[in-house]
Structure 1
Amino acid sequence: MSASDLPDELWARVLEMGVASSALGFRDLCCLAIASRRLGRLSVYPALWSELLSRDFLSQSHPSTSSASTSQPQQQLHPKSLYRIKFERHKVRMAEARRRAVFEAEARVLASRRRLAELEGSIREEGEKMKTAAQELDNLERVRRASVALNVWQPQVVRGRQKQLVQQCTVPVDSRLSNLNMELKV
């Protein structure tokens, strides 16, 4: 006995069991439909597509929803046509969801870039502050050395430049020097 000798009812039952067990999906039924005329005739059996509708579109399988793409009520549509309509709607919803996800990801990237630019600006500002503090620290160190030289050596020996540095400094050198050292360490 060959496969072509089996009655249509038996083939229909095999297809029903395949759909019911999730071994066959809509793509499989479409492929079977083009395999032979007999399988093509059997693969459009309404019970198969009704089972696929209830399995694949569980939340949308209510017959009371109206079809926007056809003027007939959905109850009069063949389950395969109804499946095609719902599948196309599902494809559109999934494409929209992917687009939304891409837009949200792009928005997060843009926000991260803005934050990165802000942080880079802050780093540049802090770098400038550090340079200014280091330069002031260097100047104060020179003033402190000149002050020590004025106190230790005889004023006649001290050169005019050191005396001028000490006289120009209005802030107590030691306290400002310790403050700048602490600031640079932080």
Structure 2
Amino acid sequence: MSASDLPDELWARVLELGAASSSALGFRDLCSLAIASRRLRRLSLLPPLWSALISRDFPSQSSQPSSSSSKQQQQLHPKSVYKTKFERHKVRMAEARRRVVFEAEGRVLACRRRLAQLEESLQAEGEKMKATAQEMENLERVRRASVALNVWQPQVVRGRQKQLVQQCTVPVDSCLSDVNMELKVCKQQIATYKNIYNKEKEKLNEYEEALKRAIYHPLQSSHTIVNEPQAKRKKLKYLLGARI
């Protein structure tokens, strides 16, 4: 006795058991059976099969249907109802994927803006440190000149050193102390900026990797066909849209 000799009732029961179990028989399988033979096409269009698939694949949508939608669904074949729910689910999944991509892009852009601001702060602080170092060097030159005035020197050299000392109207030692403190603060600030910059750079790398995953590895479920080849998607769309 071959499988073709089995009655339709037994085949229908086998298909119902497969559709009722968890992912044992999906809509792709029923669509594939529909093109195998006329008998399997007739069996694959049985309403209980598609009703079981609706209850299994869309439990949240089929648990509490509204009165108007339930009346419309009762007038339609369960396969048409499944197709409608499938298309809506696919749209929701695409929207969810776009939201994930937009959020990832927003994090990347925000991190890049913070890095640009840190680069500007580092550049400004570096210029400030250079100016402070130059001022400290000038004050150190004045201090050495004031010390050199206490020893004998040629008149020309002594005149230049005296001119340097006279140009400084405030005590050199106090100025050196203030400038030295300011230089230390600049170095500490630059070190802080660099530390924050490195951390933001690591975050940027993580956000960019997350963005790549969101773009090239979108959210998937047992119902979506987003990543399948174009020819296979067209075939499944044709099978789902086949006339009952």
Who is 1:94 aligned against?
93
Cα 1:122–1:27 shift into 2, 3 Å: same
Report which stretch shifted further, 79-88 or 9-18. Answer: 9-18
Unaligned runs of 5+ in 2: 189-244
Q: How does 1:75-90 map to 2 (within 5 A)?
A: 75-90=74-89
Q: Which has the higher contact order (CA 8 A, sep 6+)?
A: 2
Who is 1:28 aligned against?
29
Q: How does 1:142-161 map to 2 (within 5 A)?
A: 142-150=141-149, 152-154=150-152, 158-161=157-160
Q: Structure 1 residue 18 and structure 2 residue 21: aligned?
A: no
Query: C-alpha displacement at 1:133, in angstroms?
Result: 0.6
Tell me which structure has the larger Cα radius of gyration. Answer: 1
Query: C-alpha displacement at 1:183, in angstroms?
Result: 3.0
Query: 1:184, 1:39 → 2: CA distance?
Result: 85
Query: C-alpha displacement at 1:175, in angstroms?
Result: 2.2
Unaligned runs of 5+ in 1: none
Deviations 1:116-146 (A, max 9, x none): 2111111111011011011011111111111
Who is 2:132 aligned against?
133
Query: 2:26, 2:179 → 1: CA distance?
Result: 75
Q: Provide TM-score, normalisation by structure 1.
A: 0.88
Is residue 63–residue 74 contact of structure 1 (8 Å, CA) maintained in 2?
no
Query: C-alpha displacement at 1:64, in angstroms?
Result: 2.3
Query: C-alpha displacement at 1:53, in angstroms?
Result: 0.7
Query: 2:104, 2:68 → 1: CA distance?
Result: 35
Task: Give the 3-state SS of the residue equivalent to 2:35 in structure 1.
Answer: helix
Who is 1:118 aligned against?
117
Q: Provide TM-score, normalisation by structure 2.
A: 0.68
Query: 1:56, 1:66 → 2: CA distance?
Result: 22
Identity %: 78
User: How many residues are paired up?
Assistant: 181
Query: C-alpha displacement at 1:155, in angstroms?
Result: 7.1
Task: Give the 3-state SS of the residue equivalent to 1:159 in structure 2.
Answer: helix
Q: Runs of at least 4 residues of structure 1 off by over 3 A?
A: 154-158
Query: C-alpha displacement at 1:65, in angstroms?
Result: 5.9
Query: 2:153, 2:121 → 1: CA distance?
Result: 46
RMSD: 1.9
Who is 2:43 aligned against?
42
